[in-house]
Structure 1
Amino acid sequence: MNKQMVTKQGVFLLVFIMVVTLLAACSGNKEKESEKPGNSGDSGNSASTPAETKGETEKPVKFSYVRPVWGAATYTKGGPYEKELFKQGNVEIDAQIIPVTEYDQKIMTIISSGDIPDVLWALGPTDKKFKDMQDQGAFMKINDYLDKYPAVKAAVPQSVWDTLTDEKGDIYFIPNVSNPLIPIFMYYRKDIFEKLGIAEPKTTKELEEALVKIKQSDSKLIPLTAQDTIWGLGALSTSFGFPHYAWGPANGENTDNPQKIVPWYLTKGGKDYYFYLKNLKTRGLLDNEFLIAKNWDHAKQKFTTGKAAVLGINWGYGPEILSSMKKTNPSAKIGILPPLEGPDGTMGGIRPFGAWDRGMYISSKMSDPDGFFRFLNWTLTDGSDLRRYGIEGKTYKVEDGKKLLLADDDREADYKNGQIEPVRFINPMSEALDWESEEAKYKGAGVGEFFADAKAKFDTYNQVQYPEYRNPTIFSPVEIEKGAQIYNDYLQTVIDGAIINDKITEKDWDAAIDKYLKAGGQNIVDEVNALQKNKNKPKY
């Protein structure tokens, strides 16, 4: 989770006003650059593919594309998967990737240069600066294209499109819709726990005691590792009773109808969580590279190579982690910790995220937007199999008539995710949480026996939710004027350094909060609470 995400209060993480309707909602023409969609004889109701339109368009659709990558940044242009996509989709994509941890900052640098790519990923209109860019004409209005290419429109729930529609009825942003229920699991070496006589922890205190025993037994073994404070140890944050990188009840309780909401760093649970992690790190119980290592995969690699006993990570990495462990250490036994009870008796659970995580804008200067939307529509129709599964024998296998994705470790270098992710676009919401597909991922990775436990833990975590309470479409005037500035001036150093800087104490945290509130932070809290009448807890 990067600094900008903190500064913006996780705005892109949760779409508040469509939460109630989200689950219910989840249930080519000739190429002429001057031709507007809907003005030709083609009604757009048929899912024509680039392959079918080759007779109409001799030249492939060409566009530049900048996007973040969550996996390894190892992309090399001209690979076999890219060539197959270009051939089937009648497209040529000039892709540029940026690691997700650096993306939000670097994309603004690219935009500031004035050389806006044809298609770029961004936070969307719930971020004020992108909303302003929309209004100033930097991006293309896409209403007509959505009407012309129905698969693109159908990929996103109408409630989400409604949220993205501006005051004039216009839409500019294509969201990367996702399942908002993403538990952060803690995988642990059950064999090591059993050898040391450690029972599966049920509380944060018992976890701490287990980590101490592990460190005492083997000084070279890292007791606990994780990517960061939310995508790595997000399960622990819920045990402290607050929605991380979000606004929640001021009193810290997991209540449905709070009278007042505040940003997470103003809660007691937020401070307690950070200094709990600081205590673990100071005592050598938490990876000494936590929040320092640049490599997004560093924690996962340490666990799968036997260097760490407990790993906090997004549950979606399960098949890959379990498959790797099965190869590197076949005798290892892996378990998944349940939600933990926190120091104050708070029950841990899940921090629901947004109905989308970033998405795409189209430059207003793009020469062939119709061609892009024709291609995007194809990826969701006739090109869907290539998008979802890739190439048989290279990225997936077929067993009992079902396509099973191969684990990344089982793929040739040219077909690993690092070569595919950079030329991916969007998936439909209907695929966001498909248990049959999830089970197929485990089976495809050769670890089908672990699926039942993963699903059971998913259900257990989902019983207690700590969501974003703030409506991201409500902007505090003071926040717009100087919110980022006063956060950077008074809080950023303390919050970023609380865990890894030995000199920062709880008194420093309290003093920084006091200065922030006096500098305008209190006005932001007051304005948000005055403007947002409905503070009810979102339900998923």
Structure 2
Amino acid sequence: MKKKSNLTISIASLSALVLLGSGCSQGESAPQASNPAAPAVNKSLTLVLDNAGRKYPDGMNENTNPYLDYIRQQSNLNITVITPPPDGYQDKINIMMTSGESYDLIRSTDSAWVSKLVKQKALTPLNELIDQYGPNLKKAYPEEVWKQVTFEDGKIYAIPGVTTKKADELMYVRKDWLAKLGLNPPKTLDEYTEVMRALATKDPDGNGKNDTLGLIIGEKLARTGPIFGAFGVPLGQNNWVERNGQLVHSYILPETKEALRYLAGLYKDKLIDSEWALNKPKNVDEKVAGGKVGLFSAQWHETRGSILTNKKNDPKADWVALDYPVGKDGKSGIAAINLVGSYAVIPATSKNASEVIKMMDVINSRQGHETLKLGLPEHQIWERKDGKLTMNFEEHNKHIYRNTLSEIANPWDDELERERLDALGLEFKMNDNINLINSHVIPNQYNGAPTEILGKYSSQLKKMMEESFTKIIMGTNPIDDFDVFVKEWKKEGGDEMTREVNEWYSKNRK
């Protein structure tokens, strides 16, 4: 069933971290599977994973649940899981790597962090281990995926978690509010602006209060991708476009300045949520679900999230996907996301690297992958009838915590993923959303592995961008401060990154 085609795809204190695994500290043994026929466990592993705020059913936690028991049984390993709080997760695992404690596997979505640790020789190379202990693991990914976790010394330092989606977001609008205001679904950026103004000023919910938002976006420029796309800008941490035969980072394009000018105008006219710079994902979800939002850039799956909650709260709510806004030059789209979305690494201090790979081989086997992705059969989450997959919506949601384990390494299986999404409900149109997104992606012209220079500068330059662009949009700094940002970006490592990326491009361009 696997499809292997070419893919077009406040730092907390250290003392606080000691409390992270309070339910199951490293000195404690994790609960073992209850199967009396299981062989004796021989080795212990400690995994550090991002639980993304998922909740467990009563009586369960990250170390007491049937999916971890399944992995323990299948791998014959005693596994302890530590899940730092999701807010500031990356900062916390930075500290954990310097704490003197030993961890056997850490999952991160930050490629710059991985490349920095490779440079510091803080990670275990995996080539020989995969060859010896990971036959399922080795064939779980196409060669082009392995290339993205193969570093400059020719060695693999991470097990990739891949996404079959080429990007994440598309625009959604409340069609019932448009009808009430006498508006058609917008297509051009000017029409989008008109809709924002009406949503913010004409009381679409009819409660007599000026409490609806023209557009909601999030902190650190979250949910602005389609707006930047209308200017031809694929705004992303490591997104590069070709200009005159050379690669240029999306942060410093002249078109980026124009997109910021547009967003600053929206903010000045009070068409953007005034609290946007403080909006964490949960704040956006709450405002959408609470009926304050009629237009936003939604993630492909939010028809089963905040949009669904809003429809339950207000049965009149009718949400529909929109065309991406088209700018004055006819540009539109969304920035491509990296084919490799996460990295499972083995710290060099681990003495159990071979056991980690054996565990990962279990997870990446056909049976292991399907079990963690769809759910254990005995929980009646899914079944196949006449070759068609069906899922129990309520049970699926109850056991969604299993994704913390399935995400340790997410192999390439587009067919199973699309089958799963349809089984969760055709009414949510998740595959339709993905198809629309995939057909409007602005490609990233750099698809090499994380490098030393990218690892050294990417994170700090991203933070510089977020701070500068936020001040420009809010009017704290003038639009021409963008030119100051570009100079600083180049000085603080951007020029070095550009040289390195273009050296790669000269060797790999098609």
TM surpasses 0.5: yes
Specify whether residues 154 and 281 from structure 1 end up closer, same or farther in structure 2 by C-alpha distance, changes over 3 A only: same
Matched, 1:216 2:201: yes
Q: Is the 8 A contact 2:372 2:402 kept in 1?
A: no
Matched, 1:449 2:427: yes
Query: Alpha-carbon deviations, 1:280-321, whole Å to 9, x = none?
Result: 233222222323134x22212321231211131221333334
2:374 is aligned with what amino acid? Answer: Y
Q: 1:248 aligns with which of 226, 232, 240?
A: 240
Q: Is the 8 A contact 1:214 1:223 kept in 2?
A: yes
Q: Is the 8 A contact 1:338 1:457 kept in 2?
A: no
Whole-angstrom distance in 1 between the partners of 2:378 and 2:479: 55
Q: State the shift of 1:212 in Å.
A: 0.7
Q: 2:346 aligns with which of 354, 362, 377?
A: 362
Matched, 1:469 2:445: yes
Query: Alpha-carbon deviations, 1:372-392, whole Å to 9, x = none?
Result: 333333333433443012246
Q: Is the 8 A contact 1:95 1:422 kept in 2?
A: no
Whole-angstrom distance in 1 between the partners of 2:70 and 2:461: 51
Q: 2:60 maps to which residue?
A: 79
Whole-angstrom distance in 2 between the partners of 1:126 and 1:244: 20
State which drifts further: 187-196 or 78-87: 78-87
Q: Is the 8 A contact 1:222 1:309 kept in 2?
A: yes
- Structure 2 residue matching 1:226: 3-state secondary structure: coil
Matches within 5 A, 1:348-497: 348-379=332-363, 380-391=365-376, 396-398=381-383, 400=385, 402-407=388-393, 410=394, 415=398, 417=400, 419-424=401-406, 425-431=408-414, 434-441=417-424, 443=425, 448-451=426-429, 455-456=431-432, 458-473=434-449, 493-497=467-471
Q: 2:299 maps to which residue?
A: 314
1:214 is aligned with what amino acid? Answer: L
2:438 is aligned with what amino acid? Answer: N
- Structure 2 residue matching 1:164: 3-state secondary structure: coil
**Aligned length, in residue pairs:** 470
Matches within 5 A, 1:1-150: 23-24=5-6, 57-59=39-41, 62-69=44-51, 71-72=52-53, 74=55, 79=60, 82-89=64-71, 90=73, 91-98=77-84, 102-122=88-108, 123-124=110-111, 127-133=114-120, 136=121, 138-150=123-135
- Structure 2 residue matching 1:175: 3-state secondary structure: strand
- Structure 2 residue matching 1:426: 3-state secondary structure: coil
Q: Could you state the TM-score of these two structures normalised by the residue count of structure 2?
A: 0.79
Q: Is the 8 A contact 1:178 1:429 kept in 2?
A: yes
Specify whether residues 388 and 173 from structure 1 end up closer, same or farther in structure 2 by C-alpha distance, changes over 3 A only: same
Q: State the shift of 1:152 in Å.
A: 1.5
Q: Is the 8 A contact 1:26 1:429 kept in 2?
A: no
Matches within 5 A, 1:158-307: 158-166=143-151, 169-218=154-203, 219-228=210-219, 232-245=223-236, 246-249=238-241, 258-294=244-280, 296-307=281-292
- Structure 2 residue matching 1:291: 3-state secondary structure: helix
Gaps of 5+ in 1: 1-20, 28-49, 252-257
Specify whether residues 279 and 54 from structure 1 end up closer, same or farther in structure 2 by C-alpha distance, changes over 3 A only: farther
Q: Could you state the TM-score of these two structures normalised by the residue count of structure 1?
A: 0.75
Whole-angstrom distance in 2 between the partners of 1:249 and 1:437: 34
Query: Alpha-carbon deviations, 1:344-368, whole Å to 9, x = none?
Result: 3232123221121121112334344
Query: Alpha-carbon deviations, 1:491-514, whole Å to 9, x = none?
Result: 5642343334x3211122222323
Q: State the shift of 1:132 in Å.
A: 1.0
Whole-angstrom distance in 2 between the partners of 1:270 and 1:356: 25
1:429 is aligned with what amino acid? Answer: W
- Structure 2 residue matching 1:338: 3-state secondary structure: coil
Whole-angstrom distance in 2 between the partners of 1:508 and 1:167: 36
Q: Is the 8 A contact 1:143 1:170 kept in 2?
A: no
Q: Is the 8 A contact 1:95 1:423 kept in 2?
A: no
Q: State the shift of 1:163 in Å.
A: 3.9
- Structure 2 residue matching 1:151: 3-state secondary structure: helix
State which drifts further: 170-179 or 280-289: 280-289
% same residue: 20
Q: State the shift of 1:191 in Å.
A: 0.5
Whole-angstrom distance in 2 between the partners of 1:412 and 1:434: 14
Q: State the shift of 1:181 in Å.
A: 1.1
State which drifts further: 75-84 or 155-164: 75-84
Give the alignment's Cα RMSD to 1 decimal.
3.8
Specify whether residues 450 and 174 from structure 1 end up closer, same or farther in structure 2 by C-alpha distance, changes over 3 A only: closer
Whole-angstrom distance in 2 between the partners of 1:474 and 1:373: 22
Q: Is the 8 A contact 2:375 2:399 kept in 1?
A: no
